[in-house]
Amino acid sequence: MLFLVVLFLAKKTTLFEKTVALIQKTQNGLAYDDTTIKQLVEMDTDGDTIPDWQEKLYGLDPTKRETVPGVPDSTTINKLRTEQGLISINENQDTENLTETEKFARELFSTAASVGQSGTFDQTLTEQIGVSLADKIQNTPQKRVFVLSDLKITENTSLETYTNYSTNVMSIWKQNNKQDYTVTEVLERFVNDQKNIDITALRDLDPIIASANKVIEAMTEMSVPRAFAYQHLDYLNGIERIVENLSDLQLYEGDPLVALGGMNQYEKNLELYVQTVQNLTNTVNQKIAKK
């Protein structure tokens, strides 16, 4: 988990430092004594409609409408957001359209600002922020969950039905397992060490994700004997979790908090996925052997 926090900070490395430094610049009108958290979250020192916390997240100066002379901060942010595939801040500034990273930065900024004047931004608070970050990374819920009603269940219990099911599953797996590299190899190229990140390596996850989605589609369309339904369902949800983890990881440039959640959960979900494959295989083999 420490490594993931370091990776997060590699993406937004100046977030903590600039936030604290910003709070201390009381001569620029940034004194926050007796200010509510809501006011801190909404504070817009330079009056350009972009809250202070969001300007700091993007490395801008919240005391200036144009951190880069001649270029409004809103233009700078929108350019960065467009490059990252995010909605323009001028289109809709609703909280629901913030990335998870932006939401976390907003909370961090308001927390840091609220204690900055009293000088209590100490090791304890830093650790609490780390715990909050770790919690967000570890507890990303599965977006799509398959249930029995999603399956085409057959009540036929003949040996032929069981054998056909086994053959079809093996065929689906073989047809969609043709990559010359693994996810682990991609991640190793993505993170050479804790200081060097190669974002381009994540593009190689595209064919892996595409193949996994084809497996999901094929296994929801095929006929499933009721004797295998629960194991089949567990397998589908297992591979779906992997797909979501890898898809989240590809958001590193635009939403690193979500990306790190995907990376953190991938290893655990991979183990669960392997177990679902074993359970399904064992159940099918046992049923066929009894026929």
pLDDT bin (cut points 50, 70, 90) of residue 10 is: very low
Residue type, 226: R
Q: At what angle do helices 183-190 and 256-290 cross, to 10 degrees?
A: 170
Q: pLDDT: is 50 or 234 the higher one?
A: 234
* 71 vs 22 pLDDT, higher one: 71
Whether residue 11 has pLDDT greater than 70: no
Concatenate the DSSP letters of all residues of 27-38 into one string: GGT---TT--HH
Collapsing DSSP to helix, strand or coil, 2 comes out as: helix
Instruction: Convert the pLDDT of each residue in 140-168 to its tens digit.
Output: 788 899 999 999 999 999 999 999 999 99
How many angstroms separate the CA atoms of 274 and 281, rounded?
A: 11
pLDDT above 70 covers a percentage of the chain that reads 67
Using CA atoms, how far apart are residues 112 and 1, in angstroms rounded to an integer? 22
Listed in sequence order, the residues at least 6 apart from 225 whose beta carbon sits closer than 8 Å to its beta carbon are 153, 154, 156, 157, 161, 162, 165, 287
Instruction: Please count the other Cβ atoms lying within 10 Å of the Cβ belonging to residue 83.
Output: 10
Report CA torsion sign: 216, 218, 221, 225. Answer: negative
- The first and second tokens of residue 2, run together, are 């420490």
Position of tokens 């990335």?
Answer: 99
C-alpha neighbours within 13 Å on the C-beta side of residue 58: 25
* Number of neighbours of residue 91 by Cβ within 10 angstroms: 10
Q: What value does the mean pLDDT take over residues 209-214?
A: 95
Domain extents in the chain: 2-138, 148-290
pLDDT level of residue 272 (50, 70, 90 thresholds)? very high
Measure the CA dihedral 70/24/14/256, to 10°: -90
The model's pLDDT over 15-65, given as tens digits with 9 standing for 90+, comes to 444 444 444 443 344 444 444 445 655 678 888 888 777 777 677 888 888
- What pLDDT score does 115 carry? 55
How far apart CA 55 and CA 44 sit, in angstroms, is 9
- Supply the mean pLDDT for the chain: 77
Give the CA angle between residues 10, 255, 88 to the nearest 5°. Answer: 125
